[in-house]
Chain A
């Protein structure tokens, strides 16, 4: 019988710990497939963050380095400077990348580090139990914005892709979503391109993936896919924010 679909070699056989319906798993699959298709698994070094994907080092089938909260871009810089011909990537949540690790991502981007950053924006802190993230939408209820995020008290959500795209060091930034099949296909293209850029030594590439957190949003998986589409997508428009030559 012809094989129609196979699990990517880019992921290990370990059972993932993500909640049912969480889209972290989809993003993992797209990263694994990209590494496999580009035939770079043997020289990939991934950097796992702190957050729900803290165990990413158990899932990606390549050498992995676990980093402190927010510091993945600095760790990746250290790895990449030692091993310029390897493929180095970070996988980070929004608390990790847009809050505690803002300086690290801004400066890795400004330096034009030839790394690939996969940025999972689920508008909330997942692992610690649903606190407000820098990406939490105005009015969104979280455990630390129990009356809905109020700009006067908690400031405005940060649009990381737009912000980082202003930096000269950046080669490629695209925001994608994984809430339906069509968008997952587009996300895959973007992620693969972000790795291809690194292979071709084009410099800093980041893909922001709009993702769901059914558990902390307090919704069913289906409801959260709808919530992402209706609430996140208008505020975080999809598309390419920067692409160099």
Chain B
């Protein structure tokens, strides 16, 4: 298939359009502005609708309405904007509606900065808004993967009636790589017979709702979504294990950091260090089983989690490793990207301790 050189943010937007996303509601924030700009330019030409909302709060509620009306719909933002969208995301999850939300993460807290970061991991994987719920969260590490996961995200959202998040960062959003737009695997998707499209008497009226004033009813609803999450965990957890077969140390990293770690692995080999990488592709559901599998291997002496945060995913890695091996952490924040040298130095220190 033909490859095109594209910016990460534009690749996401094009992938969404090719996946049948016809509606986009957003609000500007760096470093994701190319997504709404691309949508504004392209969507009207394919019969779709782009609308710049007055705020992120409004944008996500427009998504809520459009998803309820049965459309394939997306919004995108960056960290402070995602905090504002948290309200609507909770309602969308509560009403069990499909949609895709892109977070091109920048440093925080607060206004933070505009450089890449991974410090929204907790917010993304623990729900982010109020209440018991989860999003399916994809963490691509190349632009090609950003394309295929964005396309997949719409199907997964429709299949499970659940919001799906693409968790990128400023680096992935702004970099350029050649990509091709291949459709991911075909899934059999359910009819949207629950959508509020106007009730002509041929069916009972549809109500999109997240309010259950009766505690028993609300508990039942939450239990039901958590049963659904179990199915998602079983079917949709995705992970890449790279160079782990005889590794002494396994690095856990996702997104941009995983790319950097891959280049460290070669440099480490030259110094006689056998290093592997476990890269969660879904950070929710998290690949705990994969962590456990490698933690049980005798040749693996230690784990190192590398993140552009103060150590958020390290908690999930520890849950997977369950004390079988020591888990170390190396991270940069503020928009600083970990350097191969910095990671290598940390690996050498750990080797000195465990060998």
Residues of A within 8 A of B (CB): 41-45, 47, 54-55, 57, 61-68, 71, 74-83, 86-87, 103-104, 106-107
> Given known contacts A42-B200, A78-B69, is B54 in contact with A67 (CB within 8 Å)?
no
What is the CA–CA distance of A82 and B207 in the complex, to the nearest angstrom? 17
Q: Determine which of B25, B88, B205 lies in contact with A64 in the assembled complex, contact meaning CB atoms within 8 Å.
A: B205
Which of chain A's residues have a CB closer than 8 A to the CB of B87? 68, 71
B139 in the interface, Cβ–Cβ < 8 Å? no
What is the CA–CA distance of A75 and B64 in the complex, to the nearest angstrom? 6
B180 in the interface, Cβ–Cβ < 8 Å? no
| A46, closest chain B residue (CB) | B196
B62 in the interface, Cβ–Cβ < 8 Å? yes
Q: Determine which of B58, B64, B207 lies in contact with A63 in the assembled complex, contact meaning CB atoms within 8 Å.
A: B207
What is the CA–CA distance of A47 and B64 in the complex, to the nearest angstrom? 11
| A65, closest chain B residue (CB) | B208
The 4 closest A-B pairs by CB, nearest first: A78-B65, A74-B61, A43-B198, A78-B66
B58 and A62 form a contact (CB under 8 A): no
30 contacts between A and B (CB under 8 A): A43-B198, A54-B211, A57-B207, A57-B209, A64-B207, A65-B65, A65-B68, A65-B207, A66-B209, A67-B64, A67-B65, A67-B91, A68-B88, A68-B91, A74-B53, A75-B62, A75-B68, A77-B51, A77-B58, A77-B62, A78-B61, A80-B65, A81-B51, A81-B62, A81-B66, A82-B66, A83-B198, A86-B197, A104-B57, A104-B61
A78 and B25 form a contact (CB under 8 A): yes
Which of chain B's residues have a CB closer than 8 A to the CB of A57? 207, 209
- The binding surface of chain A is classed by DSSP as helix
> Given known contacts A83-B197, A86-B197, is B207 in contact with A47 (CB within 8 Å)?
no
| B22, closest chain A residue (CB) | A82
| A57, closest chain B residue (CB) | B207
B174 in the interface, Cβ–Cβ < 8 Å? no
A62 and B61 form a contact (CB under 8 A): no
A63 and B198 form a contact (CB under 8 A): yes
Which of chain A's residues have a CB closer than 8 A to the CB of B69? 45, 78-79, 82-83
Chain A nearest Cβ from B193, distance in angstroms: 12
A66 and B200 form a contact (CB under 8 A): no
What is the CA–CA distance of A156 and B207 in the complex, to the nearest angstrom? 37
| A69, closest chain B residue (CB) | B87
Q: Determine which of B63, B206, B209 lies in contact with A78 in the assembled complex, contact meaning CB atoms within 8 Å.
A: B63
Interface size on B, residues (CB 8 A): 39
What is the CA–CA distance of A106 and B58 in the complex, to the nearest angstrom? 11
Which of chain A's residues have a CB closer than 8 A to the CB of B200? 42-43
What is the CA–CA distance of A68 and B92 in the complex, to the nearest angstrom? 10
Mask, B240-265, CB within 8 Å of A = 1, is 00000000000000000000000000
A103 and B54 form a contact (CB under 8 A): yes
Q: Which positions 198-237 of chain B face chain A at CB distance < 8 Å? A: 198-201, 205-211
B73 in the interface, Cβ–Cβ < 8 Å? yes
Q: Determine which of A47, A61, A63, A75 lies in contact with B197 in the assembled complex, contact meaning CB atoms within 8 Å.
A: A63
Which of chain B's residues have a CB closer than 8 A to the CB of A43? 198, 200
Chain B nearest Cβ from A17, distance in angstroms: 10
Which of chain A's residues have a CB closer than 8 A to the CB of B57? 71, 74, 103-104
Which of chain B's residues have a CB closer than 8 A to the CB of A63? 196-199, 205-207
| B199, closest chain A residue (CB) | A63
Chain A nearest Cβ from B319, distance in angstroms: 32
What is the CA–CA distance of A42 and B206 in the complex, to the nearest angstrom? 12
B16 in the interface, Cβ–Cβ < 8 Å? no
Q: A43-B198, A81-B23, A104-B61 are in contact. List 14 more A-B contacts (CB 8 A).
A: A42-B199, A63-B207, A64-B208, A65-B68, A66-B209, A68-B64, A68-B91, A71-B87, A71-B88, A78-B61, A78-B62, A81-B51, A82-B70, A107-B53
What is the CA–CA distance of A76 and B69 in the complex, to the nearest angstrom? 10
A75 and B61 form a contact (CB under 8 A): yes
Q: Determine which of A62, A64, A66, A104 lies in contact with B54 in the assembled complex, contact meaning CB atoms within 8 Å.
A: A104
| A83, closest chain B residue (CB) | B69
B159 in the interface, Cβ–Cβ < 8 Å? no
B55 in the interface, Cβ–Cβ < 8 Å? yes
What is the CA–CA distance of A81 and B69 in the complex, to the nearest angstrom? 9
